[in-house]
Amino acid sequence: MTTARSSLSILALALATGAQADEIRVLNWQGYGTDTSFASEAFQEATGHSVIHEYFNSEQEMLTKLRTNPGAYDVVMINAVFMPQAVREGLVTAIDTAEVPNYTGIPEGFAADPKLMIDGEVYGVPWTWGLTSFAINTSAIPEAPTSIQALWDPAHAGRVSIRDDALEAMQLAALATGQDINEIADLGAAEAKLAELLPQLRTFWSSENDWNQFMAAGELDIATYWSGSAARSAALGLPVEFVVPEEGAIGWLDSLAVPASSSHQEAALAFIDWMIDPAFYVQWDAEGAPASANADAAAALPEDAFNRRVLGDPEVAARVRFQGELSDETRETYLRIWQGLKAAQ
């Protein structure tokens, strides 16, 4: 009884002074920026709000977590491709960018992305962008391949990995069959290409930590990966090299959003602001990070940083295919194809 009463009085005090310390829950990939310990600690010190991390294994799962756990999350990381669907389903709320001072640093190209700004309302704050391609284990493959067909190379049979994700798999197959990732005309060819890839696989990887462990144990030669994560794995001392093959790589834009059911919107926006803060980004990039969507943050990087070196290379940039909008029908088609392929194993 006493504890209940004393915590009530603390709450009343906090409300009166406006210095309410919230506990916010952040939903993201594991090991992807928001859960770095320095970030949470600095944030708590500055604002008093503590951060709890929750993870998803796929974007599909992320959406379902939002749908079936109203009120459980305050900040969610959403790939721009999935934002229109989240908005249509009323899962995320419009953001008052005035509450996010660092938003001014985000260039028009990202800020006004039609997947994030819908009917003039901002639903996602552009956070990072990067590439999905593949990385090699340099102790197994000394010479970096130039073609995406390396994933299909029988020399690596049983030592390849991709993610268990319908969209990523289909877009990978589109690249490998010379098709537009956003308009796969010949679905049959992509499906057949994936059917050839599956027997090559050792397993599916589901998180960066997972990926690192497979590489550290020497269980994989070659696996799909994200540019920021590759930089991070290399920084950990793993023999890893990220490859942007001649067929191209998938470009993505990740954003931070606030679930409509969040009851700590103010603290959530404060956290998002911190996540696009140049100070946070420079520190994150030192550990390995994707490219920041905030021009101020990107400019704050040292000249030799991976994100300036590789992604800044115009020749590489020309090979990037950014993910476009995806209709529900297309997504369901991909899902059906992918499910069928996995079931046939």
Partner 1 sequence: MAEITATGDRRRLIAMLSPAYLWLTVAVFLPLSAMLFFSVLTALPQDGPDWSLTLQNYRLFLTDPVYATLLWKSLQLGLTVTVICILIGYPCALVLARTIRGRARETLFLLVILPFWSNSLVRIFSWAIVLRGNGVLELGLNAVLPFDVSLNLMFTTHAVVIGLVHSYLPYVILTSYLALQAIDDDIIDAARSIGAGTLTILWRLLLPLSLPGLLAGAVLVFVPVVGSFMEPRILGGRMGTYYGTVIEDQFVAVYNWPLGAALSFILLAVVLLILTLTSPILRKARL
Partner 2 sequence: MRRPLLPVLGRLWLALILVFLYAPIMVMAAMSFNASPFYQLPFSFSTRWYAEMAGNPQIITAALRSVSIALVVTLIATALGTAASIALFRYDFRGKKVLQLLLFPPIAIPWLITGTAMLIFFFAIGLGRGTPAVIIGHVALALPYVIVTVTARLSSFDITLEEAARSMGAGGWTVLRRVTLPWIAPGMVAGALFAFAVSFDQFVVSYFLSQPGDSTLPVLIYTAIRKGFTPEINAISTIIITVSMAIMFIATRYSRFGGER
Binding region for partner 2 (CB under 8 A): 25, 27, 30, 52, 54-55, 57, 65, 68-70, 72-73, 206-207, 209-213, 216-217
Q: At what angle do helices 37-47 and 278-287 cross, to 10 degrees?
A: 160
* Binding residues vs partner 1 (CB under 8 A): 57-58, 60-61, 63-64, 67-68, 158, 198, 201-204, 217-219, 335-336, 339-340, 342-345
CB-based contact 211:198 (threshold 8 Å): no
Q: Which does 321 bind (CB under 5 to 8 A by kind): partner 1, partner 2, none?
A: none
Q: Which does 336 bind (CB under 5 to 8 A by kind): partner 1, partner 2, none?
A: partner 1
Structural element, H or E, at residue 291: strand 291-292
CB of 57 to partner 2, least distance (A): 6
Left, alpha or beta for 314 (phi > 0: left; psi -120 to 50: alpha)?
alpha
CB of 68 to partner 2, least distance (A): 7
CB of 70 to partner 2, least distance (A): 8
Q: Cβ closer to partner 1: 64 or 147?
A: 64
Tell me how far the alpha carbon of residue 215 is from its chain's centroid.
20
Q: Which does 257 bind (CB under 5 to 8 A by kind): partner 2, partner 1, none?
A: none
Q: Cβ closer to partner 2: 76 or 190?
A: 76
Q: How many residues does the chain have?
A: 345
Which residue pairs, CB below 8 angstroms and at least 24 apart, start in 149-154?
A: 149/176, 150/222, 150/243, 150/245, 151/176, 151/197, 151/200, 151/222, 151/224, 152/176, 152/193, 152/196, 152/197, 152/200, 154/200
CB of 168 to partner 1, least distance (A): 14
Structure-token pair, residue 208: 């960066």
Q: Cβ closer to partner 2: 55 or 152?
A: 55
